[in-house]
Amino acid sequence: MTDQDHPARRLLLVHAHPDDESINNGATMAKYAAEGARVTLVTCTLGEEGEVIPPALAHLAADRDDTLGAHRVAELAAAMKELGVTDHRFLGGPGRFRDSGMMGAPQNHREGAFWAAPVDEAAAYLVEVIRSVRPQVLITYDPDGGYGHPDHIQAHRVAMRAADLAADASFREDLGAPHTIAKIYWNRVPRGYAEDGFARLRAARVSFPATGAVDDIPGVVDDAVITTEIDGTAYAAAKTAAMRAHATQIAVEGDFFALSNNLGQPVLTTEYYELVRGERAAGSRETDLFAGVTP
Q: Provide the binding-site residues for Zn ion, judged by CB under 5 A.
A: 16-17, 20
Cβ proximity to Zn ion: between 46 and 162 the closer is: 46
User: Rounded to whole angstroms, how far apart are CA atoms 185 and 272?
Assistant: 9
Give residue number: closest CB to Zn ion.
17
Cβ proximity to Zn ion: between 14 and 163 the closer is: 14
50: nearest Cα among 22, 71, 74, 80: 71
Cβ-proximal residues to 53 (8 Å cutoff; 6+ apart), any chain: 247, 248, 249, 250, 251, 259, 260
- What CA–CA distances, in Å, run from 65 to 46, 71, 102? 15, 12, 20
Assess contact for 242 and 234: CB atoms under 8 A. no
Minimum CB separation of residue 15 from Zn ion in Å reads 7
User: Rounded to whole angstroms, how far apart are CA atoms 197 and 202?
Assistant: 9
48: nearest Cα among 92, 91, 94: 94
Cβ proximity to Zn ion: between 16 and 91 the closer is: 16
String of DSSP letters for 144-155:
TTTT--HHHHHH
Cβ proximity to Zn ion: between 20 and 271 the closer is: 20
Cβ proximity to Zn ion: between 16 and 62 the closer is: 16
**Could you give the 3-state DSSP secondary structure of residue 46?**
coil
Minimum CB separation of residue 94 from Zn ion in Å reads 16
Cβ proximity to Zn ion: between 22 and 228 the closer is: 22
Cβ proximity to Zn ion: between 20 and 286 the closer is: 20
User: Rounded to whole angstroms, how far apart are CA atoms 216 and 146?
Assistant: 9
User: Rounded to whole angstroms, how far apart are CA atoms 253 and 285?
Assistant: 31
Assess contact for 125 and 165: CB atoms under 8 A. no
Minimum CB separation of residue 32 from Zn ion in Å reads 21
Minimum CB separation of residue 20 from Zn ion in Å reads 4
Minimum CB separation of residue 259 from Zn ion in Å reads 10
